[in-house]
Amino acid sequence: MIVVLQKGAKEEDLTNVLKHLKMHGFATHIVRGTEKTIVGAVGDKSRLVNIPLEAMSGVESVIPILAPYKLASREFKPEDTVINVGGIAIGGKDVVIMAGPCSVESKEQIMETAILVKEAGANILRGGAFKPRSSPYSFQGLKEKGLEYLALAREKTGLPIITEVMESENVGIVADYADILQIGARNMQNFTLLRKAAATGKPILLKRGPSATIEEWILAAEYILVEGNQQVIMCERGIRTFETYTRNTLDLSSIPVIKHLTHLPIIVDPSHGTGKWRCVTPMSKAAVACGADGVIIEVHPRPSEALSDGSQSLTPEKFNKLVNELEAVAQATGKALSTPVTDNSKVGV
């Protein structure tokens, strides 16, 4: 940590800063510049301490040197984390495709979609049972009934399932059904939920918050890792910017950055990330080209009848084409698409 003193700070301000730093176990180094004096503070616990030095007299600013996370960092664990879900490796050499409807709307709809996406080459089935919706007047999901239908679809197709858990009191029931727990973008900093989800031991897909910096997103992962659950999958789903043509701005540069800073796998959600079905296929290919470990795609048998997010859902035909094009891009980057699950035996739970 570097403490920068104001020009004209008094000697007693410096003494006071030094005293505080030593009190917290830091060794200190003073560098007197031509205009300003700075103090370098070195200590084992430097990552864990948050002293409000900026509130002290004569202090201009405090600059952290070490990243505020530890377990998530590439420095802590150099090798890639690979997460195994029902025989599918996420974060390994192959590209994983998760697909399915935004919401589970009926038994028929999820069964039909599951079969279609499996045939097209999907490895994991997605579908929302509990739906966070901006408006209280929008469809809120089938809740537990939706989870049951997802489980039936898994039984039928052998695809592991991923579904969102929206609040800590539902963690138990969602974990009873799901193979991967999804933490939604709005809940990225719902720390109680992160801890409870972590405690299930299930793999957790952690969506980036729409206004979260990469560092905050990694810190949210750290909340899970600290609980002893190492199975965190990062998911880039777009950030909020001034651009309005797309629903969000998909920040694909977060992929190489996450790969550089952490050991965690990262997948991309181009459906929410753009909000336009027309952008889903090109952005999926871009995601894989720059190193994503997979994509998660909204597919609906009849998007114009979807109860949510129809305008960003692919038809099965378009999804089929996407998978084929993705395969070519994966190969061009020295990877392959993950081999589809081939038997219908129940996975997971």
Site residues for a copy of itself, window 306-335 (CB under 8 A)? 306-311, 313, 325, 328-329, 331-333
| 336: contact with a copy of itself by CB under 8 A | no
With CB under 8 A as the contact rule, the residue among 172, 201, 228, 282 that binds a copy of itself is 282
Within 93-132, which residues bind a copy of itself (CB under 8 A)? Answer: 132
Whether 5 and 13 have beta carbons less than 8 Å apart is answered as: yes
Residue placing its CB nearer to a copy of itself in the complex, 2 or 18: 2
| Closest distance to a copy of itself from the beta carbon of 340 (Å) | 20
Binding span for a copy of itself by CB under 8 A among 105-113, 116-124, 148-156, 276-284: 276-284
**SS3 state at 159:** coil
Of 297, 249, 300, nearest to 274 (Cα)? 249
Binding span for a copy of itself by CB under 8 A among 58-66, 84-92, 109-117, 144-152: 58-66
Residue placing its CB nearer to a copy of itself in the complex, 52 or 343: 52
**Range list of β-strands (E), the chain:** 2-5, 27-32, 37-42, 59-63, 83-85, 88-90, 94-100, 124-126, 161-164, 180-183, 204-207, 232-236, 266-268, 294-298, 336-337
DSSP state of 246: S
Residue placing its CB nearer to a copy of itself in the complex, 156 or 276: 276
Within 167-226, which residues bind a copy of itself (CB under 8 A)? Answer: 167-169, 186-187, 189-193, 209-211, 213-216, 219-220, 222-223, 226
| Closest distance to a copy of itself from the beta carbon of 122 (Å) | 20
Question: At 293, which amino acid appears?
Answer: D
Adjacent-strand bridge partners of 3: 39, 62
Dihedral angle computed from the Cα positions of residues 134, 136, 137 and 142, in that order, rounded to the nearest 10 degrees: 90
Write down the residue that tokens 């201009």 correspond to: 60
| Closest distance to a copy of itself from the beta carbon of 120 (Å) | 19
Binding span for a copy of itself by CB under 8 A among 118-126, 151-159, 199-207, 285-293: 285-293
With CB under 8 A as the contact rule, the residue among 204, 252, 296, 337 that binds a copy of itself is 252
Binding-residue total with a copy of itself (CB under 8 A):
112
Cα–Cα distances in Å, from 46 out to 10, 129, 130?
Answer: 25, 42, 40
Within 223-242, which residues bind a copy of itself (CB under 8 A)? Answer: 223, 226, 239-242
Residue placing its CB nearer to a copy of itself in the complex, 60 or 84: 60
Of 79, 134, 124, nearest to 97 (Cα)? 124
Whether 170 and 157 have beta carbons less than 8 Å apart is answered as: no
| Closest distance to a copy of itself from the beta carbon of 81 (Å) | 18
| DSSP codes joined into one string, 84-102 | EETTEEESSSEEEEEEE-S
Burial of 73 (0-12, 13-18, 19+ CB in 10 A): middle
Binding span for a copy of itself by CB under 8 A among 90-98, 121-129, 143-151, 299-307: 299-307
Burial of 343 (0-12, 13-18, 19+ CB in 10 A): exposed
Residue placing its CB nearer to a copy of itself in the complex, 133 or 145: 133
Cα–Cα distances in Å, from 73 out to 1, 105, 307?
Answer: 18, 39, 40
With CB under 8 A as the contact rule, the residue among 283, 299, 323, 341 that binds a copy of itself is 283
Residue placing its CB nearer to a copy of itself in the complex, 177 or 277: 277
Per-residue mark of binding to a copy of itself, 146-165 (x: CB under 8 A) = --------------------
Residue placing its CB nearer to a copy of itself in the complex, 89 or 226: 226
